[in-house]
């Protein structure tokens, strides 16, 4: 009986230690996302989550999953109204279906980047060719805009070391984000906006979506976010401008 008790005690202690390791690892990952670059464990590749603008109040507003004929034109109208530039990470098959929207984005001075061709899970979906997803999307974007994209963002932030290697070998830098507009705890446009505004810091990359799901709340939150940042003295720039900025010494 004593042996059984000691065995149970050892199991409990070991379980607690493992839980602690998991918690610390999770916290380290969360803290890493707040740095200029997130270096993924064992990947040995730098993955951008924000820019380094020093104290200069520059931020990049980015959109995933478009173009969408219902939501993207509304986003473009809002951006035009507030005279700001943004970056669109687009899905290749959507580009093929709605090339005119891509042309409108480029004409307005926005940036168009790569978000795969079919928006797959690049970790679980073994039937998917990551290289084909990236290369095919780049070809579609270039055929419409005349410019090859240089940044790649994996859907839902799901990727492996192979994803990073393939992206880099195809000429892309992998870019994530600092904070997202859509969040499970933000149920209203006001709460969505307040959460993003509170996170304001020079160099951050904001993620929003203009496709795939119902983005009505995002559209309503967008003007609130823009006005909130502008009130704090921030200027919105494209991702390329943000990452190319050299803060004064």
The residues annotated as belonging to the active site are: 64, 209
Peptide bond into 67 cis (omega under 30): yes
Q: In this structure, what token pair is assigned to residue 236?
A: 């919105």
Report the alpha-carbon distance of residue 227 to residue 26 in Å, rounded.
Answer: 33
With a CB cutoff of 8 Å and minimum separation 6, the contacts of 228 are 193, 194, 196, 197, 200
Q: Where are the alpha helices (DSSP H) in 84-171?
A: 92-97, 99-107, 130-145, 161-169
């Amino acid at each position: 009986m004593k042996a059984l008790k000691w065995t149970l005690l050892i199991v409990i202690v070991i379980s607690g230690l493992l839980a602690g390791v998991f918690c610390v690892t999770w916290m380290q990952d969360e803290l890493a996302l707040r740095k200029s670059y997130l270096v993924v464990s064992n990947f040995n590749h730098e993955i951008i989550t924000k820019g380094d603008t020093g104290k200069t109040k520059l931020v990049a507003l980015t959109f995933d999953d478009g173009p969408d004929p219902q939501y993207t034109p509304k986003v473009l109208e809002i951006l035009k109204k507030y005279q700001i530039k943004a970056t669109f990470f687009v899905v290749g098959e959507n580009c093929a279906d709605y090339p005119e929207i891509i042309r409108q984005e480029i004409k307005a001075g926005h940036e168009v980047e790569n978000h795969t061709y079919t928006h797959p899970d690049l970790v679980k979906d073994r039937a998917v060719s990551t290289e084909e997803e990236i290369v095919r999307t780049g070809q579609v974007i270039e055929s419409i805009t005349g410019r090859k994209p240089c940044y790649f963002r994996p859907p839902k932030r799901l990727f492996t070391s192979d994803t990073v290697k393939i992206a880099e070998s195809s000429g892309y830098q992998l870019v994530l984000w600092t904070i997202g507009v859509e969040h499970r705890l933000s149920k209203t446009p006001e709460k969505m906006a307040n959460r993003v505004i509170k996170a304001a810091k020079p160099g951050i990359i904001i993620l929003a979506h203009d496709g795939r799901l119902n983005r009505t709340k995002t559209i309503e939150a967008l003007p609130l976010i823009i006005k909130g940042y502008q009130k704090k003295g921030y200027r919105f720039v494209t991702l390329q401008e943000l990452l190319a900025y050299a803060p004064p010494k």
